[in-house]
Amino acid sequence: MDLVHALYYGIIEGITEFLPISSTGHLMLAAKLFGAADSEFTKTFEIVIQLGAILAVVVLYPKRLLVDRASMIRIIAGFLPTAVIGLIFYKLVKTYLFGNIPVVLASLFFGGIALIIFERYMKTRSAPRERTITDLSLKESALIGTMQAIAIVPGVSRSAATVIGGMFFGLSRAEAVEFSFLLAVPTMAAATGLDLLKNYHLFTKDDAAALLVGFVVSFAVALASIKWLLSFVRTHTFTPFGVYRIIIAFLGAWFLLD
């Protein structure tokens, strides 16, 4: 992979990782559009550069991740179901679903519909006191983590799954988004570590340079993306993201499917 394409991937990853539109799905669509080979390196690259975006969360939320015990316990409770499910289905997902464009497009489409329906449901729901992350029980945190695990299917969106789960259990829109950020740290760190452990032998020195570019760019862009999303959700719903997902699914089917 050349450095220009690594730069493009880093930008796409940084923008999409925390928006409820599936960073993995967008990276796969970009790979198809760029004509990248459907190789083990490409699949691993798409996983590893997500760690750059996750580092942005560590920089922005060090206290909640490393000092706030109540938040840390709930992050761990949310991470454990994802870890177990991810380990069980890792080989299946990477072998059959990564690089599978029809699966990505279907996930984007139905995920978009789900977001729109969920927002309509939230409008009909009585408005209880909005909760914070530390108000969640460990069981609720684990259930949100279980929803996050659905995102092992490319195109589903880890962010969308956790935000929907958080809001369903009464988190404010901003708190649900922040919990999604925080849950991403152990989840993506574990996913990246597992993939590197299994596939480090595939990388050459040139590949390492591409990974570094993608990592650094995704980190820088993710910092801006996180701040934008937090500002956006204060006055908007997630419906525009649902509409966007449906449009991208149709465009992807039009241009990328034979």
Q: Which residues of 228-250 are buried (b: 16+ CB within 10 A; e: fewer)?
A: ebbebbeeebbeebbebbbebbe
Classified as helix, coil or strand, 37 is coil
Tell me what pLDDT residue 37 has. 65
DSSP character at residue 172:
-
Taking only the tens place, the pLDDT of each residue in 9-68 is 999 999 999 999 999 899 889 988 888 766 777 777 877 788 889 999 999 999 999 889
* Model confidence, pTM: 0.89
Please, what is the Cα angle at 220 between 217 and 226, to 5 degrees?
A: 125
Which backbone phi and psi does 7 adopt, to 5 degrees? -65, -45
Asked if residue 108 lies in contact with residue 155, where contact means CB atoms within 8 angstroms, the answer is yes
Q: CA 28, CA 50: separation in Å to the nearest integer?
A: 13
Tell me what pLDDT residue 188 has. 85
Q: CA 247, CA 254: separation in Å to the nearest integer?
A: 11
- 């404010």: which residue's tokens? 172
Tell me what pLDDT residue 145 has. 93
Q: Taking the domains of the chain in order of start, what are their residue ranges?
A: 3-256
- What is the pLDDT confidence band of residue 233, given thresholds at 50, 70 and 90? very high
CA distances from 134 to 140, 144, 164, 178 (A): 11, 14, 17, 12
- 């009464």: which residue's tokens? 170
Asked if residue 153 lies in contact with residue 97, where contact means CB atoms within 8 angstroms, the answer is yes
Taking only the tens place, the pLDDT of each residue in 79-137 is 999 999 988 887 888 788 887 899 999 999 999 999 999 999 988 876 666 789 999 99
Question: In terms of pLDDT, which residue wins out, 179 or 38?
Answer: 179
Question: In terms of pLDDT, which residue wins out, 138 or 93?
Answer: 138
Asked if residue 47 lies in contact with residue 210, where contact means CB atoms within 8 angstroms, the answer is no
For residue 194, pLDDT beyond 70: yes
